[in-house]
Every structure is written in structure tokens, then in C-alpha cells.
Amino acid sequence: MAAAPVLAPDAVGLGLRRALLGPLRAASQDAVDFLEVAPENWMGVGGALGDAFAEVTARWPLVCHGLSLSLGGPGELDRTFLLRLRRFLDTHRCVLYSEHLSACSDAQGQLYDLMPLPFNRAAVEHVVGRIRDVQDVLGRRLAVENVSYSATLDAGGDGALREIDFVNEVVERADCDLLLDVNNIVVNATNHGYDARGFLRALPASRVAYLHVAGHHDEADDLKIDTHGAAVSDPVWALLDEAYAHCGPRPTLLERDFNLPPFDELLGELDGVRTRLRRDIAQRDAA
């Protein structure tokens, strides 16, 4: 399998939302280093919207983050969709492609939500085979994201695994990469009572392709809701520093799905990522 090109380790990016097309078209080249899109939202889009998309994706490298592959789902992989996806990734010279380590479909079709998987060996076997199939069809490596979840599924019997062991076994046996979502670790650690820093440190640093940071909603002291609709919180910033200490500098994407602030404010938050990346690089150079 041919190795995909990679972003610079100090690259910072934004999730492309339609409301950001105008500001990005007017922005300077150094405002961001790359953009991330959900390919399902842009396949086949034409007209003025398609022209605007083509304009901004010609200016910056593109990362794709899928929503509908359903790696853990029970149904057959949609190979027609995978072939369309491959054309899209190739046409737009996509640097990286990632998906969620979750299920979003059942026997009747799409659920339009990201459902957690049971942390057991049967699920590992199922997901590993599907990831390998996806990588073969796409002709490129896949990065899987550690997802947030509100409730755990019954893992069942002797095959039950801890979340960290489940994630690590999947990426090792599937020989795929990891999209490390820092916010999701903070959310899950709070909701399910484990140590966020310990979870992070147990992940395989060499497989981390890039990182996500985002905001969440604090429902209670022991309950966080993963929303991508708020500014990055102090605990997430702190764990991002830990991620760089563990993995080294990695391309980092700021996710904001709604409640978009003014564009300059969004770029200011992105500068917070850039500052932390550069500080880590400077500390490593000094050492």
C-alpha cells in the first residue's frame, strides 16, 4: 500500500463548515495550515457552493473525516460508497482520511448517530477485518478516532476489555493509524471515572497521525457532553500539552460544529493550538 503524504508536524487546521467558506476565501494564506471536511457532506456538491469549496481546498491541504462508514456496524461495508469516496479523496489530493471507532448503522440502515462499541474481543475481530478491507479498497491508511460515549455496552464474559486495551488492540492488529481526540478523552474520563492522563499515556504514540481538540458542555461536575459547540476548556488545553509531551508535535485540528464565533475569535483559539505546538517544538530543540 502506498504511503500517504503527511502534514507538517506543526500544522494547525480548522474543520470546514459552510458558514466558514466566505471568511476562508477572504483569509490570508497563513491563517490556517489545513482544512478538514466530512466527505459525505461534499460529494457531488456543485454550483456556487461547489465552486467555493474547490477554491478553498485548492489553497490549503485537505484532511477528510468520515461520518457514515460504520466500522463497528453489523451490515456489509458499502463498497459502492467506498469507491466514490476513493475518487473524492484522490480528486482533492486528500492528505489523511479518518473515521470513528464506532457504529452508525444497524440492519435497517443509517442511525445518524455515532454509537459506542462493546469493548470485547468479538468487536475487535469485527472491526479489525473491516478496517483492513477499507484500507485495501481505498489504497491508503485509515486513522480511527477514539470516540466519546455516554453509556457503555455490555462487553460480555471473559472477552471483556478496558477501553484503552480495546483501542490499542484494534489499531495494532488492523495496522492502522490513530486520530487522537483530546476532548473525547477528557469527556470520557469524567463521565466514566478514569484518569485522562493515564489513558493518554497508554496510547501508542507512533500511530498518532493527527489530533482533534474541541469544546464540550459541562452538565455537572461528573458529566460532560461532547458538543463541539463551545470554546476549548482548560482541562482539554492541559491534556493537549500532555499529548504533545507523549507523542511529539502532531498536526492538530480545531473542531467547531455550531455556535460559531466571529472568524477572528476562531483564529485566536487556533493560535492557542499553534502556541502550544511551537512551545513543545522549542522545548525539544532545547533538550
Cell numbers representing residue 236 in the block: 482539554
Q: What angle do CA 196, 33, 147 make, to 5 degrees?
A: 30
Q: Per-residue pLDDT for 2 more than 50? A: no
Helix or strand run (H / E) with residue 271: helix 263-286
Q: What is the mean pLDDT of the chain?
A: 91
Judging by DSSP bridges, how do beta strands 252-254 and 12-15 pair with one another? parallel
Which residues does 8 contact at the CB level (< 8 Å), separation at least 6? 33, 251
The answer to whether residues 284 and 19 touch, using CB atoms and an 8 Å cutoff, is: no
> Structural domain boundaries of the chain?
12-286
pLDDT band at 225 (very low <50, low <70, confident <90, very high): confident
- Cα–Cα distance measured from residue 171 to residue 189, given in angstroms and rounded to the nearest whole number: 20
For residues 245-256, average pLDDT = 97
Q: Per-residue pLDDT for 10 more than 70? A: yes
Task: Look at the block and give the residue holding cell 532545547.
Answer: 286
Query: How much is the pLDDT for 219?
Result: 83
Which residues does 172 contact at the CB level (< 8 Å), separation at least 6? 204, 207
Distances (CA, A) of 111 to 131, 147, 188: 20, 16, 22
Helix or strand run (H / E) with residue 119: none
Query: How much is the pLDDT for 3?
Result: 44
- Cα–Cα distance measured from residue 81 to residue 33, given in angstroms and rounded to the nearest whole number: 29
Task: State the DSSP code for 140.
Answer: S
- Cα–Cα distance measured from residue 59 to residue 150, given in angstroms and rounded to the nearest whole number: 38
Weakest mean pLDDT among 39-53, 95-109, 114-128, 186-200: 95-109
pLDDT band at 51 (very low <50, low <70, confident <90, very high): very high
Task: State the DSSP code for 63.
Answer: E
Asked whether the whole model's pTM tops 0.95, one would answer: no
What is the CATH number assigned to the segment(s) 12-286?
3.20.20.150
Task: Count the helix, strand and coil residues of the chain and give each as a percent rounded to the nearest 5.
Answer: 45, 20, 35
Q: pLDDT per residue over 85-113, tens digit each?
A: 999 999 999 999 999 999 875 555 565 56
Higher pLDDT, 112 or 160: 160
Cell numbers representing residue 77 in the block: 461495508
